[in-house]
Amino acid sequence: MATLPDIRHAALALPGAVELESHGGSWFNVGKKTFVLYWAKEILVALLIVSFFWMLAGLVSASLNRWGKRLARFTETDLDDRILQRIIPHISRLLTMSGFCRISVLAVSRLFSSVSPGRPSMVWTPREKP
């Protein structure tokens, strides 16, 4: 897999290519035309993670609606039916939010893994007193 230095070297070898940085990522232009968005892969991964957890939440909700109601028919009271009605939306939201939590964990781990001694980072470090 190509890293940013590899992409930077190949892209800037083209005549008239310039590197721009925005939103924490790099892109490369020739004139006004963009031809490489390095951070687009990270956005795609984030969308896939959220989509997976959203579909998982829908699947779990549908399963609880179907099988939970079938199991609740065997009881004499309607307490378990009311409990199911109350918890299914919250379980769905919990699973969807866990997808967003996974994205934030990935973002933080990438932030700290990209810190190197010769490269400026977004991590705050205290200044030394003269």
Which amino acid is it at 76? Answer: E
The beta-strand segments (E) located in the chain are: 17-22, 25-30, 33-37
> What is the rounded CA–CA span in Å between residue 84 and residue 63?
11
How does pLDDT run across 34-73, given as a tens digit for each residue?
777 666 667 778 888 889 999 999 999 999 989 988 888 8
How does pLDDT run across 14-27, given as a tens digit for each residue?
788 888 776 666 77
Q: Is pTM beyond 0.85 here?
A: no
8-state DSSP, 63: H
8-state DSSP, 3: -
In angstroms, what CA-CA distances link 79 with 14, 62, 71, 82, 85?
69, 20, 12, 5, 10
Q: Domain segments of the chain: what residues?
A: 41-112
pLDDT band at 124 (very low <50, low <70, confident <90, very high): very low
- Yes or no: say if 20 and 27 are a contact pair by the CB < 8 Å rule: yes
Which residue, 31, 34, 30, 36, is CA-closest to 6? 36
Helices 79-113/40-63 angle, 10° precision: 160
